[in-house]
Amino acid sequence: MKKKLVVLSGAGISAESGVPTFRDSNGLWEGHDVMEVASPEGWRKNRALVLEFYNQRRQNLEKVVPNQAHIILKELEKDFEVQIITQNVDNLHERAGSTHILHLHGQLTQARSSADENLIWDIGYQDINLGDTCPIGSQVRPNIVWFGEAVPAIVEASQYCKKADFLIVVGTSLQVYPAAGLLHDVPKNTPIFVIDPNTPTISQKNVYYFAEKASVGMQKVREKLLELV
């Protein structure tokens, strides 16, 4: 029986593929205050701006490809039962071939009704325009979990973490909650592999730090994992 490998991935893994992380030290996303483009308040204030912001992100996503870190995670499915829990809204894990992916913050290639959060559908890389309506007549919005909105997938993510035999944290500073709290759900003696150029300090035992970019760090983690099984 394969060991359960849980992966928490963040913006750093996709940055190597050319997906902008957007958020800078001033809390700005491409020059916009984060609350203008990633909050219910921003949506109510200027829907056209919000839609254009995500349309541009979707157009960029179509041009990029998965990198070696994404591919290694797919290849690890040969030896482990891999569950990816990602804070990213791109589809690079899917395009690399990983089969078990949980998106905490929604998906850029999906749209949803602004009246019914459960009415979600795939749109690929198409734009969402002002005036586009869902089957029940409300304005279509990106299927993105904005600041101030609930993260319903966190419950499922917690259950995966509670059963983890190994945990990889790649490309995330673990500063965004509730995702950062998932570390506390991992069993006490579970080996944790942290890959980030600026590795955060984790209080748990059995933590292996790799101050590397995602693709280099994942190669080293794969070697370490295969030594442990």
Q: Where in the chain is the domain with CATH 3.30.1600.10?
A: 20-63+109-144
The pTM is what? 0.93
132 in helix, strand or coil? coil
Token pair for residue 228?
A: 């442990």
Token pair for residue 47?
A: 């829907």
Active-site residue numbers?
Answer: 105
CATH of segment(s) 20-63+109-144: 3.30.1600.10
Residue ranges of alpha helices (H) inside the chain are: 11-15, 34-37, 40-45, 47-63, 68-75, 92-96, 154-162, 214-228
Averaged confidence pLDDT in the chain: 92
pLDDT in tens, 79-134: 999 999 999 999 999 999 999 999 999 999 999 999 999 999 999 999 999 999 99
The secondary structure element, H or E, covering residue 109 is strand 106-113
CB 212 within 8 A of CB 220: yes
pLDDT in tens, 5-64: 999 999 999 999 999 876 655 555 667 788 899 999 999 999 999 999 999 999 999 999
Token pair for residue 132?
A: 């586009």
Q: In terms of CATH architecture, what is 1-19+65-105+151-229? A: 3-Layer(aba) Sandwich (3.40)
Residues with Cβ within 8 Å of 85's Cβ and at least 6 positions away in sequence, in order, are 6, 7, 8, 9, 102, 104, 157, 160, 161, 179, 182
The pLDDT confidence band at residue 204, using thresholds 50, 70 and 90, is: low
What value, to the nearest 5°, has the Cα angle with vertex 168 and ends 209 and 146?
A: 110
